[in-house]
Amino acid sequence: MRVRLITGLIVGAVLAMPATAHADDETAALTITPSALETLASGQLSVEPSGSAGLTGPATYLLPVTDIAFTRGGEVRAIRLAGGVKIAGAPITLDLTNFRVNLPSQQASVRASYPDTRIRAFDVVRLKVSKKRVTGVLMISPGTASVLNDQFDTYVFTDGLRFARFEYALP
């Protein structure tokens, strides 16, 4: 009963929020997708901000931008972010922090608190880069789902799950 109520509240809150969170030139917005929220709720897991990330709405986090790498031609090559998200399930928590979004390879890596290492956690799809902003969808990359499932002793995560949308307004 409790899980259904929590799932209903989360899905209702996500459906009521604006389609896109707006970031500024010093932060990037990361919005957990409804399918990821349902997956987390079915595994009795929650997600919350970690480190310097801030919560701006239901399932929407603002992560400070620490560095932007450009190509010689002036195109964005990579975006580095501070803070991140924490996935929690009694009694375990897993921090995914220090996101690095690599545009040419369309991959995003994070620093995982367990194991304490950097992992290529997400594939970036629907990547759009304009002169004003960078947007994309983070999907759980092959192999990452098994790490998450092992961490939380569950089978709810799948490779290719649309985990979050991100947006960064270029300075």
Nearest to 63 by CA among 108, 12, 24: 24
* Phi, psi for residue 93 in degrees, rounded to 5: -130, 150
On whether the CB atoms of residues 10 and 41 are closer than 8 A, the answer is yes
| CB neighbourhood size of 88 (10 A) | 18
Q: What is the pLDDT of residue 58?
A: 85
Structure tokens given for 57: 């709405």
* pLDDT tier, 132 (very low <50, low <70, confident <90, very high otherwise): very high
| CB neighbourhood size of 128 (10 A) | 9
H helices of 86-138, in order, are none
pTM: 0.83
Radius of gyration for the alpha carbons in the chain, expressed in angstroms and rounded: 15
pLDDT digits (tens, 9 = 90+) for 4-45: 333 343 433 333 333 334 445 599 999 999 999 999 999 999
3-state secondary structure of 127: strand
Residue linked to tokens 């109520």: 5
pLDDT digits (tens, 9 = 90+) for 54-78: 999 889 999 999 999 999 998 999 9
Q: What is the pLDDT of residue 4?
A: 39
* Range of the structural domain that residue 87 is part of: 2-169
Q: What is the pLDDT of residue 171?
A: 81
Number of domains forming the structure of the chain = 1
pLDDT digits (tens, 9 = 90+) for 80-123: 999 999 999 978 899 999 999 999 999 999 998 877 889 999 99
pLDDT digits (tens, 9 = 90+) for 161-170: 999 999 999 8
3-state secondary structure of 106: coil
Q: What is the pLDDT of residue 91?
A: 81
Q: What is the pLDDT of residue 25?
A: 55
* Higher per-residue pLDDT: 9 or 124: 124
- How far apart CA 103 and CA 101 sit, in angstroms, is 6
